[in-house]
Every structure is written in structure tokens, then in C-alpha cells.
Amino acid sequence: MNTRGTNYKRLLGYAAGAASFVFALALTSSSVWFRNHYPYLAYVLASLATCYLVGIGPANVVACLSAIAVYLTYAPSGFFVTVTPTPLAASVAVLLMMLASNWAVGSLKQSRDRLAAERERYARLAESRDVLYRELQHRVSNNIQIISGLLRLQGQAVEDKAARHALTEASGRIGLIASIQRQLHDRTGERAPFNRFARDLLKDAIAAAGAKGVLLEVEGGEAPLHEDQATPVSLVMLEFVNNALEHAFAERGGMVQVSLEREGQSYVLTVTDDGDGLPKGFDAGAAPSLGLKIVRTMAGQLGGTFSIVGGEPGAVCRLRFPALDA
């Protein structure tokens, strides 16, 4: 079936070439002015058009037919008498000129077609790479979630309260990493802007904490973060917000504001709440809690610094880290 279709297409190409030759012959024969001033132009244009549209084979057939037509209908006139003084010279000149033109056009067309084929191949490779990448992201996220579930099950089987609490905390934080991994990219595989996936993560965190009446605002971060920074920055942000949910509001509601702003060659992540504020003598650098240990570790990994200070009211948590191109 494929061979039959190829042969049919080739036959149509030669038929189109024959039709273009007949048109050129009719145009040259019907116009005295055209024949006297441009006796070979119609043939050349017919050959070039055929070469461009259907290929060099039919175009060379047009060239041969045109040379025969020139030989049979030769009429010396104008400038071309000095160049082609005999029918044979005229037909040979036309044939050589048209064959050379067909070769040039055919070579350019083949180069263009090869370039188009290469572009299509690279586009397919890029699409395949993106599909594989998304599948890898999905599998990594699922595997991390499985680890989180295993830790949670192990924690339920441990009798020691401190050990059970530690395993539960570890399970929850590993689950957060899986959630971050899923939401870093949108459905097309493109990296999501920071404010979009941050808003989704924080809504989930607020819902998981059962913090009713806590409002959330996310500002800035319209562009995606660098892949090496997105996860640690998200973990720090979640620790800041979870700290506010756990300690700032007690039994009442409040407001949590999150912003990510570019300042020169650095990013500044700020989490502000209007809660009860910090306890007296609070030192973020020396606090023994696991959450702040994670913040210190992530800040060090980013090459940045963090601070937690009292606000009016509430607290202001800030992370500053060098900006990398996304």
C-alpha cells in the first residue's frame, strides 16, 4: 500500500510537470511580443516551479521537453540571436540552463526538507524527554510518599511516646517533600511560579493543622525558583508557617502573610503573622526544636541566612539567599 501510494504520488508529479510545460508552450506560442522578447522565459519558469513543487525528476522532464520545443519552434529574434544563432544552440542552451537551475533549486529544497526533518526529530526527542522527566518526577514523588507512609506505620507500632512522636514528625516532613515535588511542575511539565505552588502547599498545611480562621496571603514570587532552591526554600517557608500555626494563634484565628521578593542578587522570603509574638529570650539560632534545626540546615544549604524577630504584633520570619537563574 505504501509503494502504491508512492508510485501514485510520483505519477501525479510527472503529470503536473507535463501540465506546466503545456502551459509554458501555449504562453510562448500565443504571444508574439512574449516570443520575441522572452522566448525561453516561460519554459524556465515552468521548470523551476515544477522543481520546487513536485521535485527535480519531473522538472528535468520539463527541461527536456522545453529544449525540444525550442528546437522545433526556433525563431531568431532580439538579443538571443547573438547568443543562440541556431536551433540546436538555442535548445542546448535552454536545456543546460534549466538543468542547472533545477539542480540548484532541488539542492536548496532538499536542504530545507532535511532541516525540517531534523527539527521535527528534535521536537519529538524534546517531547519524549519531557514526558520521561514528568514520569520520573511522578515516580520520585510516589516513592517519597511511600517512605512517609512506612515511617508513619512504624511510628504507630512503637510504644515509646518520644520515639513515636519523632517518627510521626519525620513522616509528616517527608510527606511535605513529596507534596513539594508534585507541585513544583504544572501539568505540562513546566516549572510552576513560586507563588502558585506556595499557595497550594500552604493551604494544605493550614487544612492539615486544623487551623480554622487563619487567613493566608501570598505575594511576589511570580517566576519559578531554580530547581536546586525550590525544595529547601519551600521547606523553610512551611516551617515558618507551621511555627505560626502552632504557637502564634492559640485558639484564635489570624493572618499569615508570605512574600518572596528579589533584592539585587538575593531573594528574601518573609513570613509574617499577627499572632501572640515570640516568648521572652527567644533565640532562633539556639532553639532546639526540629523545625528550626531544619531551617538552619536549609539556610546553610542555600548559602543564606535566616532570622525570626518580634513584630507589632506577631513575628517576622525572614530567609535571605543568593538568587540563581531559574
Q: What whole-number distance in Å separates Cα of residue 189 and Cα of residue 233?
A: 20
**Any domain includes 140:** no
Asked if 221 and 315 sit in the same domain, the reply is yes
Residue 165 domain-assigned (yes or no): no
pLDDT at 319: 93
Instruction: Tell me whether residue 139 is exposed, middle or buried, using C-beta atoms within 10 angstroms of its C-beta: 0 to 12, 13 to 18, 19 or more.
Output: exposed
C-alpha to C-alpha distance for 71 and 74, rounded to whole angstroms:
5
Distances (CA, A) of 58 to 4, 11, 62, 106, 110: 18, 9, 6, 11, 15
Which element (helix H / strand E) includes 299? Answer: helix 290-302
Q: Would 40 be classed as within a structural domain?
A: yes
Beta strands in the chain (DSSP E): 214-220, 254-263, 266-273, 305-310, 315-322
Query: Would you state the pLDDT for residue 297?
Result: 87
Are 326 and 210 part of one and the same domain? yes
Residue 157 lies in a domain: no
CA-CA-CA-CA dihedral for 4, 8, 10, 12, to nearest 10:
180
Q: Is residue 100 part of a domain?
A: yes
Task: Round to whole Å and give the CA distance between 173 and 116.
Answer: 49
Residue 191 has what DSSP assignment?
B
Are 222 and 325 part of one and the same domain? Answer: yes
Select from 85, 103, 125 the last residue of a domain. Answer: 125
Separation of first and last alpha carbons in the chain: 50
**The domain that contains 324 carries what CATH number?**
3.30.565.10
Q: How many domains, the chain?
A: 2
pLDDT value for 9: 80
Q: Give the residue carrying C-alpha cell 529574434.
A: 77
Domain range holding 250? Answer: 206-326
Residue that finishes a domain, picked among 125, 148, 177: 125
Give a yes or no: residue 75 inside a domain.
Answer: yes
Examine residue 300 and state whether it is found in any structural domain, yes or no: yes
Residue with cell 504562453: 27
Using the 3D structure, point to which of 108, 125, 142 is the last residue of a domain. 125
Q: Residue 188: what pLDDT?
A: 57
Q: Check residue 321 and give its pLDDT.
A: 92
Q: What is the pLDDT of residue 133?
A: 59
113 and 212 inside one domain: no
For the beta carbon of residue 116, count every other beta carbon within 10 angstroms. Answer: 10
**pLDDT tens digits for the chain (326 residues)?**
467 767 778 888 888 888 888 888 888 888 776 666 677 888 888 888 888 888 888 888 999 998 898 888 876 665 555 566 778 888 888 888 888 888 888 888 888 888 888 888 887 877 776 666 566 666 666 666 677 677 677 777 777 777 776 777 667 667 667 666 666 665 555 677 888 888 888 887 777 767 677 888 888 888 888 878 888 888 888 888 888 877 767 666 788 889 999 988 899 999 988 877 777 777 776 667 777 888 888 888 889 999 888 877 788 899 999 988 65
Q: Is residue 181 part of a domain?
A: no
Q: What is the DSSP letter of 259?
A: E
* 116 and 216 assigned to the same domain: no
Give every CB contact of residue 260 below 8 A, 6+ residues apart in sequence: 194, 195, 198, 219, 220, 221, 233, 267, 268, 269, 270
pLDDT of residue 320: 92
The predicted pLDDT at position 269 comes to 92
pLDDT at residue 122, rounded to an integer: 82
